[in-house]
Amino acid sequence: MNTSKTFKIKGMHCASCAGIIEKTFQKTDGVTSAEVNYGTEAAKVSFDAEKISPQALSEKIKPLGYSLVLEEKSSGGAGVNQQKAEKLAELSAMKNQVITAIPLTIISIFVMGWDILASFEKVEMMSNFWSEFFHHLLPLMATYMLFVVGKPYLQGFYRFMRYGKANMDTLIGIGTSAAYIYSAAVGAFKESLKPYINVENTYFDVTIVVIAFISLGKYLEARSKIKTGDAIEKLLNMQAKTALVIRDGKEIEIPVEQVVHGELIIVKPAGKIPVDGVITEGSSYVDESMLTGEPMPVKKTIGDTIAAGTMNTSGSFTFKATKVGSETMIAHIIKMVEEAQGSKAPIQALADKISSIFVPIVLVLAFLDLGIWLTVGTAYLGFSQALSFGLMSFVGILVIACPCALGLATPTAIIVGVGKGAREGILIKDAATLEKLYKVTDVVVDKTGTITKGKPELTSIQNSSQKSDNELIAILASLENKSEHPISHAITVHAKEKNISLSPVEDFEMIKGKGIKGTIGKTQYYAGNTKLIEDLKISFNKNSIEKETLEGKTPIILATKENILGIILIADAIKPEAIEAVARLHQLGIQITMLTGDNKNTAAFIAKQVGIDEVVSDVMPEAKLDKIKELQAQGKVVAMAGDGVNDAPALAQADVGIAMATGTDVAIESAGITLLNGDISKLVKAIALSKMTMRGIKQNLFWAFFYNVVGIPLAGGVFYPVFGLLLNPVFAGLAMAFSSVSVVGNSLRIKAKKL
């Protein structure tokens, strides 16, 4: 039976670690596929559970210094807190090692600096006492740094020798060990070696400072990486820990994990909603910003759905649990964000390929460079000087050649980008979707529910009586309150919002295809279309509402037996944010096409109001699909935004399907991107986020390649014959540490940018 699971991995130190683990799993019998992400330190493995177990998978990589986290963590925020506590403990241990290394590093840099300044006659040579003191102190400090602080690098060296698997630790281990062994040999056999090499030069200081800088860089990188993935932690920590349920007529507070379907739950003011459900009693305003990104609380009354993790701001209410545990909306979101953050974008393929072969190539280059120094360099500089420069170059290449920056370039930006989207109510299915969205040239939108609100509203009143507008609404709403028609609902909702009182209606009657009538007080009123007015033989000029009907508005004429009192116009109103959203899409260079089943006049009017480029009206769902194919045939990259149900074929065909989700009962996996709250302005934010994230990835990849393209030749001495430049391994270590930290730091900038 084929199973797919995601495991956290312990022991990963660099991008080449991901390549080693991935290749090991892929060669394992029973494994169908494996994808390892250095940014999230996780492996997504598809395997046959009958052939191999997770424990056996972990055993496969254990000799290489890695292991899978197999124990089940507690669910919810506690699990995330537990994982973060482990990370913080690791970080604390790294910090302690860095702190112990700082004084040794300062002493080493002081001695190095003094020697350099003395060679340029800027200061006097160090006295014999201090020279001898440091001559004996530096080997002791280097021994501590290599065998205590540098233990992971020595283990990397050992595993390379035993298993032939090399990672970044291997390079550091070989480089610092070479400097240490050479220096120790010179110290032990000084007199014997004196005729052949310059025994005055030792490199204990290189071992000390390089390990210190790299350890500092790894600490800063680990600290920064914790910040990149805080979106899920914030979502989980906002969930309620307990629920106040009604059992056997009593209010009992229980852990949220024990809530069952159909249970009645009480939520008090300022309380968190523990699970998804439907309000059965009471009303309140609920802050849904943690799900939708919308700051304004939403009014919730009997029959309205509510979601786990949202906050009750004012009143008290009771609701029935409909979804609990992993079924809740927030649980789906968390799962989706985790999977998206762990997925790989196509742009990462090149970096992964380079990282997988990078370490072996660097090892070859380092030894080749040493060989060139010892052969060609000896002819021009002499053996002693060539050996000294060769060793410096050998160590420098191994230290500066860091694939970590390459490995971190894409995943850190993806982690931050996906997390930022989740906080804004933009749910991204995977990294590939985010990359596709960046390339979108055309956006196709459905009218109803995307550009318009998707429900009729009272838009205007033409009053031809002595009564006030509110009096007309009171009469009409009293009549319509007896009807179940959507237009009737729009009128009664408007009256409710305006706090207009309704009057009792007698002798109410539905007039099929024309309208309604009823008596309020002693007056009989009629409300309906032009046919009803014609039947009443009341004089009426149809041209007075021609413009409104062409705009897609529905006129409701209110009259008595003798006179028309007014005309109330009903329409599916344009969303307030739609006009600005379309303008921003144009600023991003994107063309917008609107598809609708409405008639040509209504569609054209709405498109003109909003500023849409192309309109296709009177279309059926299959025609929407054809339009997507037509645009793609023209070489366009198309994103389709719709409700995810009627537009399913078109959403599936589009390069990026965007579901405009409303409410809490939504299948968020149905599209590449889901915009919570059905807000079209989030569509603009999603595209802006994709561009921001991809720009960050490209910047990261540029700097990661730049460090290595420039650093390796510089460390190898390529520029020495012409410019006399040779990179000290100490500066190579500093550059290596800075490269990873700068890449993570650049990714973190995405969090602070405004969408």
Q: What is the pLDDT of residue 230?
A: 64
**Longest Cα pair distance anywhere in the chain, in angstroms?**
126
Q: In whole angstroms, give the CA distance from residue 558 to residue 552.
A: 19
Whether 446 sits among the annotated catalytic residues: the reply is yes
DSSP state of 613: S
Q: Which amino acid is at 447?
A: K
By the 8 A CB rule, do 679 and 295 touch?
no
Q: What is the pLDDT of residue 81?
A: 57
CATH architecture of residue range(s) 240-273+276-323: Distorted Sandwich (2.70)
Predicted confidence (pLDDT) per residue in 236-262, tens digit: 677 788 999 999 889 999 999 899 999
Please, which residues have CB within 8 angstroms of residue 256's CB and are 6 or more apart in sequence?
A: 76, 239, 240, 241, 242, 243, 274, 275
Q: Which amino acid is at 673?
A: I
From 3.40.50.1010, 3.40.50.300, 3.30.9.30, 3.40.1110.10, which CATH number describes the 453-574 domain?
Answer: 3.40.1110.10
Averages of pLDDT over each 10 residues, the chain, 755 residues: 86 82 92 87 90 92 90 50 74 91 91 81 86 90 95 90 84 89 89 79 86 85 73 71 92 92 93 94 88 77 91 92 88 80 80 78 92 93 90 89 77 89 88 92 87 84 91 94 81 91 92 89 92 90 80 88 92 87 94 84 87 87 84 95 70 87 53 81 93 93 85 90 83 79 88 85
Residue 117: phi, psi to the nearest 5? Answer: -65, -35
For tokens 């009123």, the residue is 525
Q: What is the pLDDT of residue 596?
A: 81
Q: What is the pLDDT of residue 74?
A: 44
Q: What is the pLDDT of residue 645?
A: 54
By the 8 A CB rule, do 11 and 43 touch?
no
Residue 391: phi, psi to the nearest 5? Answer: -65, -40
List every span in the chain annotated with CATH 3.30.70.100.
Answer: 2-72
Q: What is the pLDDT of residue 232?
A: 66
By the 8 A CB rule, do 148 and 384 touch?
no
Q: Annotated catalytic residue: which of 169, 352, 446, 647?
A: 446
Q: Provide the edge-to-edge strand list for the sheet that holds 284-287.
A: 298-300, 284-287, 311-312
Q: What is the DSSP string of 112-173?
A: HHHHHHHHTTSSPPPPHHHHHHHHHHHHHHHHHIIIIITHHHHHHHHHHHHH----HHHHHH
DSSP state of 341: H
Q: Provide the edge-to-edge strand list for the sheet that holds 614-616.
A: 426-428, 673-676, 656-661, 638-642, 442-446, 591-595, 614-616
List every span in the chain annotated with CATH 3.40.50.1000.
Answer: 429-451+575-691
Q: What is the pLDDT of residue 663?
A: 46
Q: Provide the edge-to-edge strand list for the sheet that holds 506-511.
A: 452-463, 564-574, 554-559, 523-528, 515-520, 506-511
| Helix, strand, coil distribution of the chain in percent, nearest 5 | 55, 20, 25
Which tokens hold the place of 537? 């033989």
For tokens 């890449």, the residue is 743
List every span in the chain annotated with CATH 3.40.1110.10.
Answer: 453-574
Q: What is the pLDDT of residue 279?
A: 95
CATH superfamily assigned to domain 429-451+575-691: HAD superfamily/HAD-like (3.40.50.1000)
- Domain over 2-72 is classified CATH 3.20.20.450: no
